[in-house]
Amino acid sequence: MTTIAVIIDSPVTPLTSLLPLVFVISVTAMKQGYEDYLRHRADNMVNYSLVTVIRNGVEMDIKCHNIVPGDLVKVVRDCDVPCDLVLLKSSDPHNKCFITTANLDGESNLKTLTVPRGLPSLDVDRLHTLGIIECEYPVTDLYSFNGRIELSETIGNRMSAVPDLDVVNNNFLPLMAENLLLRGSRVKNTEWVVGCAVYTGQMTKLALNSKVTKYKMSSSEIFINKFLIFFLILLISIVTISYFLKRFHDMYRQEHNIYLGEPVSNYQVSQFLQDYFSFLIIFNYLIPISLYVTIEIHKFLGSFYMEWDHELYDAPTNQPCIVNTSDLNEELGQVEILFSDKTGTLTKNEMIFQQCSINGRKFTQKRTGLLEEGKHLLLKLPEFKDDVFNFFQALSVCHTVQVAGSEDADAEALHDNSLVQSDETDNINTTAFTFGDNFTDISEEREESPILEMNGVNGESVNGHVNSDMNPLLNRQNTDKDQHFLGLNKSLHHTHLQILPTRPSSEHLPKMAALILEGKPRPYSAVGMDNASFNHMHEFTFSPQPLSRPNSHVDLKRTISTDADVHQKTHRRTQSYNVPPNKASASANVARTPSRVSRQSSIRSIVSQMNSRESYAAPQHTEAAKIERNESMYRRGVIQSVIEELDYQASSPDEKALVEACAKVGFVYTGDDDDVVTVKIKKSVFRGGKARNVDTLDSVKKIFKADNSTIMKFTRLHVLEFTSDRKRMSVIVRDQKGQIWLYTKGAESHVLPLCDKTPRQLITETQNHINDFAKLGLRTLTVARRKITNSEYIEFSNEITQANNSLTDRKALVESCQQKIERNLELLGATAVEDALQDNVRDTLEALRYAGIKVWVLTGDKVETALNIALSCGHIPDDALKHFIVECQSAENLEEQLNVFENELNLHKDENFALLIDGGSLAFALSKFPERFRDLSVRCRAVLCCRLSPLQKCEVVHLMKTVAGHPITASIGDGANDVSMIQEAHVGLGIVGKEGRQAARCADYAFANFAMVKRMLLVHGHYFSQRLSLLVLYFFYKNLVFMTIQLYFQINSMFSSQTVYDALFLTLYNVVYTALPILVISLTEKVYPMDKLMSEPPLYKKNIRNKRLQWNYFCGWMLLAVYHSSVIYVSGFLMWNNNPAILTTPQTVNFYCYGTFMIHNVVILVNLKLWLSSSYQSYWFIFSIWLSIVGFVLTTFIYNLFNLDLLNGDMLSVYSNLLSSLTFWLLCLVVVIAALIPDFTIKALQALNVNCSSIFPGQKKVPTTKSRCTFFEMTRL
């Protein structure tokens, strides 16, 4: 328009179009540029991260994005792999590397990779001479890799001389998936690995499984574009009609209109363009050009509401909400399908052992003991019967758990030189002093276990209160069978001291012992410890961290006081790189660096002990009871410390939970060495007499007698891995007596039928207990065992070896061997483990369901695991009919399953259905029957997809976007494997998880936990959707009011192509006079309060599918615009036509007075209309309205004081004359009242609770809740 206005003889100055355009473009560019800068800075955090490469035998640090194929990359423990690497060397003595792939497939289980078999062991500085790696072109499959290493001629000749090595063609070694470290995986339980980069950048498997980011357009933009098209058509129609009517008047005007000049006889093209474009320039203000800039500002400022929301802030992690793009704020209020990851999103991926069933009895684990159902006695390890002992012994052996650094985590080898003195007299119990346990738990344990577990020094009961009948330990005979219960009178085993590197000096021990025996708290001042001694006492190795290469040289010089400081000051990839300054000099020679327990935590520990002092000062607590509490505290502290020190790494969270549960009751698995499994039986039975004299070390040693650790060692002979078909895993071991045992654990449906040697009644009772556990949402496993003879094992070993060497039917032959050995089992019991869900997950899913949002869970986890989580978190309702489509081997098989499913849906139309499908079956559905699968699955209340690759997740989201009606989708996840579906969905939500920030960086919005999605959608989504609809409709409304008056004036002026408004008004109307109030209300409007939106999720449906941007709302506002403009123009026209002398001055009003009267009423009316349309009228909003009106008055008044030719106007003294006229003010009052009659009428009807039509939207007040009963409470009534 600006260009046209310059070329032709424009009715207005070109500045009226140029200035608003420049303003709009500038604001939009600044907003988009700022958000691009934030994304660029986030990308640089990864691209510029330092990694260690080895080039020509020299280690150097380079930026991550500078890695090229062929580089030797060194990755240290707990760091992410920067690209796809072929593993060449590992710090593990067995050439293994342990990783987690949670960022790839969602599983945080420990996985094992190995150096290629037959690869020669070379020093790191000589690995570059190894040879050449040839590999296949990168593919999306995460679990396949084919390649080979062509050894150099020198190394190949040397290898060919060794006949035992499997070297193909003397110079080639095969490469498989177990040799490939994928980008995004994390090194665990291995100090460092070195690999050769084969795929980098966009060629990595992770990148291939990630979709290219595309621009996401909000669904509201579709409606806005439709409205713009409507206005554009309206504009062209008005311009065209005006042009022809002008031609009509020019040709057939009456002869007495001589003041218009002579008619043009030879009408040329130039005159046609002049007239047509003149009308186009006049009416182009019908298009709200400032709409987009206002929307941009509205979204940008609105994003801070989410970032500043305290309910979206996670205090433990100091993580606020992150808004990566503000373009989709209103889309949060339109979501109909939510796709969610499982691991790390719905769950914390933390398993907790809760209950168990042993020999028909149900137990609950309470700290370090077991509480049998119906009883109040807390059983400790010395009181375990044979069946309970055998059960936990089986759990401590039947697993594949690895111990991080087991060779140095073993109790006999932990910091020997620095922690244990050579003097045997120093081996006394100091654990109770240094662990800082408070006595509250001891009191609880005392209440649950009133029977004392202690004997006197010579075996007699303490104070005569404990006899042999009360203590099962005294009734046991010292036989081989019960040997594990005996041998408890030796001195303290040095294991306990080795876990505690620092202890108080020997001179303080008697005083501290006396305080403890007296039941008093242990303030350090009481034992004569100064601040230095206090600090020294608490600077012990608590959870060693591996030493890694720092991210920058500055990190080594940085003073770090607590782990929290490290977390806040460093990037995720460098959190493990920082070491205390006093350790930096020795960093090159040690593998671990001790972290520091802050003085603050020690003080808190002391305060907690002092606060609990009163509960132990009761007179009925005897001296023996005090000794028992101290001993029990000591035992729990030792066991908990051993668990923390061992750092279990399991192939599944269930196994880790079971092993940790065994350790808590005293069966401490300390690792395996060359398949020799070591389990320590920690039976801490305190022996002590009367604590009368504790002034010397000798007296202390008589009181504190350490418990003995019985060490059990098993040789692991064979592991029968878990498969989805067998649903169980088994371990064959040989105990110290040479007896071979088969231990099995798995699903009850696949273990109980094999327990032929177990009475049927016991199986029934165990099954009932398992059903009870399942009702509580616990994950269950059944445990059994079998004694195997040597001949049976030899036969099995030969058969399984032959089966593994078979090239055909290997899987069937192996399963046959496994089934042959897994029979005639003896049932030991069942376990119940809770998979810790994210906080408030069930409530969140329930709220989303009531809000009309369907939730799909897409996970790479196993079917059984995913199903258990879906049931426990409430994703699959209890009353839903479940249909499984799993293990389909062909498209025909899948089609049969779909036919059955469709029949069930048609047969039970009123029932709720839940669909579960695995990745293999889904692959056939997506390739062969996508539309049918889509149409059937959308009829389900809940859908669970398991074993999906990242690309399959993306394809599922893409498929569901094509459902009839095109529902708005959202995806939420926490790992790199979720990036594809996050980017594919209309709205991407990321969880800032423990496994990294890949999802958070790629998502549109990110926050700390899943429960926050409820507030994001139901509150912020609802508000943004409702606010944007008001903003859009109001902009079209006010522009139509503005230009309809222009149209009326053209009719009265015989389409003279002259504007009724001065150029100043055309320039400032959209960007100044009416911009601020709508911007403020679009940021503050609240139809419903927040607590009401949270408690009544169905309110979310009021805005879904952009209901407030539908054509009925749009037409209602446009009718109001026509009415308001008609009132303004007709009232002014009638007044000016009947009484032109309305001013106090002698002269009649001129043309500019007429136009100024119109714009004056327009500005006041459209602002008051917005005020009446709002529901939440804040002070800022009221102030913005008056500021806009007063701003118009002031600018117009100042403008009319000068005669400016720049804007082609003649406004000198025009507005001053109008303001001095009483007729002008009365007429303005009449116009405003007459125009707002419909609005006041609707307000009155609403006050009378009359259900009026929604043809004039946005008129509802903030509803008042007369009852405190929430929606969920009402549904339960």
Q: Which residues does the annotation mark as catalytic?
A: 341
> Is residue 206 exposed (0-12), middle (13-18) or buried (19+ Cβ within 10 Å)?
buried
Tokens of residue 115, six digits: 């150096």
Classify 354 as helix, strand or coil: strand
Q: Distance of alpha carbon 606 from its chain centroid, rounded?
A: 36
Dist. CA 687–CA 684, nearest whole Å: 9
Cα pseudo-dihedral 884, 889, 892, 897, rounded to 10: -10
Q: Which of 570, 583, 569, 507 is nearest to 539 (CA)?
A: 583
Q: Which of 785, 789, 786, 816 is nearest to 800 (CA)?
A: 816
Q: Is 1252 exposed, middle or buried (0-12, 13-18, 19+ CB in 10 A)?
A: middle
Residue 342, annotated as binding a ligand:
yes
- The per-type count for the chain, helices as H runs and strands as E runs, is 47, 36
860 among the known binding-site residues?
Answer: yes
918 is in an annotated binding site: no
Q: What are phi and psi of 669, to 5 degrees?
A: -80, 120
In this structure, is the dihedral angle defined by the CA atoms of residues 857, 861, 863 and 866, taken in order, positive or negative? negative
- Token look-up 């995986």 returns 185
User: Does 341 belong to an annotated binding site?
Assistant: yes
Three-point CA angle 628, 631, 632, nearest 5°: 85
The answer to whether the CB of 429 falls within 8 A of the CB of 704 is yes
- Give the whole-angstrom CA distance, residue 1001 versus residue 213: 12
Is 935 assigned a ligand-binding role in the annotation? no
Positive/negative CA dihedral, 447, 451, 452, 453: negative
Instruction: Give strand ranges (E) for 974-1084.
Output: 987-991, 1005-1007
In whole angstroms, give the CA distance from residue 502 to residue 492.
Answer: 17
Q: Can you tell me which residue has the tokens 């193909």?
A: 168
Annotation-wise, does 978 bind a ligand?
yes
Determine if residue 343 is labeled as part of a ligand binding site.
Answer: yes
Which is it for strands 740-746 and 779-788: parallel, antiparallel or unpaired?
antiparallel
1095: nearest Cα among 749, 851, 930: 851
Dihedral angle of Cα 1020, 1025, 1031, 1033, to the nearest 10 degrees? -160
Q: Are 1003 and 990 in contact (CB under 8 A)?
A: yes
What does each C-alpha distance from 289 to 592, 1031, 1119 come to in angstroms? 63, 13, 21
Virtual CA dihedral for 1156, 1160, 1163, 1165, nearest 10 degrees?
-130
What is the C-alpha separation between 940 and 913, in angstroms, rounded? 5
Does the annotation list 43 as a binding residue?
no
| Residue from 405, 400, 411 nearest 743 by CA | 400
Contact 612, 440 (CB under 8 A): yes
Pairing mode, if any, of strands 942-946 and 854-858?
Answer: parallel
Place of tokens 């051993």: 642
Q: Which of 997, 984, 993 is nearest to 858 (CA)?
A: 984
All residues at 6 or more sequence positions from 536 whose CB lies less than 8 Å from its CB, including other chains: 502
Residue where the block lists tokens 């986890």: 861
Annotated binding residue 1243: no
Instruction: Give the Cα separation of 551 and 532 in Å (integer).
Output: 33
| 3-class SS of residue 1261 | coil
Query: How far is C-alpha 905 from the geometric centre of its chain's CA atoms?
Result: 34
Binding-site positions read: 341-343, 655, 722, 745, 779, 859-861, 947, 953, 974, 977-978
Question: Which residue numbers belong to the known binding site for Mg(2+)?
Answer: 341, 343, 974, 978
Query: What residues form the annotated binding site for ATP?
Result: 341-343, 655, 722, 745, 779, 859-861, 947, 953, 977-978
